[in-house]
């Protein structure tokens, strides 16, 4: 029986992606128990609190990564990472981007050699997986490449340092047919998407 450690990185700005993530974490626990495994611990980091005001720029490059190892250690210590992020102006939420900037560090999580970029922790990360729980207000069909591009950038950033990823997209949260729905009603609306996730 495997003992599994889970990290929940909450970068949701609307609350919807966090709500879906919490339902998926419950499903994860049940799925793993049915497979004969157990979830040993679940740690939650609210990136909205942790990384408030943290924007990488030319003026703070000297100390921006001073706490990077703390976040990298969260990835090292977790078997499964659940990230909740919203689509904000065609981008992943700012604190999601800030987190990625924290963990993608030349000489620590990647380096360059004559073959190009190299994920330095690929061997350590090879059996870990990041699930990106993503929400957008508009349906995907109404946003030409919007959600796909934004959330694929998050996925590719994790993969750049050697992690496996899967995007779980809940699009159309604010579509007319969903106006007025509370959290539980939205979850029921997207139940088939939740059920399709295999942990």
53-69 residue pLDDT tens: 999 999 999 899 999 99
What is the greatest pairwise CA distance in the chain?
55
Is 121 domain-assigned? yes
Distance CA 143, CA 129 (A): 27
Is 189 domain-assigned? yes
Is 140 domain-assigned? yes
Is 111 domain-assigned? yes
Q: Which of 125, 150, 126, 124 is nearest to 137 (CA)?
A: 150
Is 128 domain-assigned? yes
Has residue 2 got a pLDDT over 80?
A: yes
Round the average pLDDT of the chain to a whole number and report it: 94
Is 57 domain-assigned? no
**Count: domains in the chain:** 1
Strand residues in 65-109 grouped as ranges (E): 80-88, 91-92
Is 138 domain-assigned? yes
Has residue 138 got a pLDDT over 90?
A: no
pTM: 0.95
19-31 residue pLDDT tens: 999 999 999 999 9
Structure tokens given for 91: 């981008």
List the CATH number of the domain containing 24. 3.40.50.360
- How much is the average pLDDT of 116-135? 96
Range of 172's domain? 9-49+65-144+159-195
Q: Please report, for residues 76, 82, 94, 164, 195, the alpha-carbon distance to residue 67 in angstroms, rounded to integers and kept in the order given.
A: 15, 21, 18, 23, 37
């Amino acid at each position: 029986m495997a003992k599994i450690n889970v990290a929940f990185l909450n970068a949701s700005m609307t609350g919807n992606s966090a709500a879906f993530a919490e339902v998926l974490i419950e499903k994860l626990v049940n799925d793993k128990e049915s497979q004969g495994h157990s979830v040993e611990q679940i740690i939650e980091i609210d990136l909205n609190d942790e990384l408030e005001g943290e924007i990488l720029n030319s003026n703070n490059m000297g100390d921006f990564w001073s706490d990077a190892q703390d976040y990298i250690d969260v990835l090292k210590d977790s078997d499964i990472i659940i990230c909740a992020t919203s689509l904000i102006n065609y981008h992943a939420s700012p604190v999601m981007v800030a987190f990625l900037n924290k963990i993608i560090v030349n000489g620590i999580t990647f380096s360059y050699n004559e073959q190009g970029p190299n994920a330095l922790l690929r061997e350590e990360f090879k059996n870990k997986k990041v699930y990106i729980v993503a929400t957008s207000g508009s349906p995907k069909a109404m946003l030409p490449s919007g959600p796909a591009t934004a959330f694929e950038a998050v996925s590719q950033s994790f993969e750049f340092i050697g992690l496996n990823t899967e995007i779980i997209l809940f699009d159309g949260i604010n579509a007319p047919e969903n106006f007025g729905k509370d959290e539980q009603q939205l979850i029921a609306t997207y139940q088939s998407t939740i059920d399709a996730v295999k942990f």
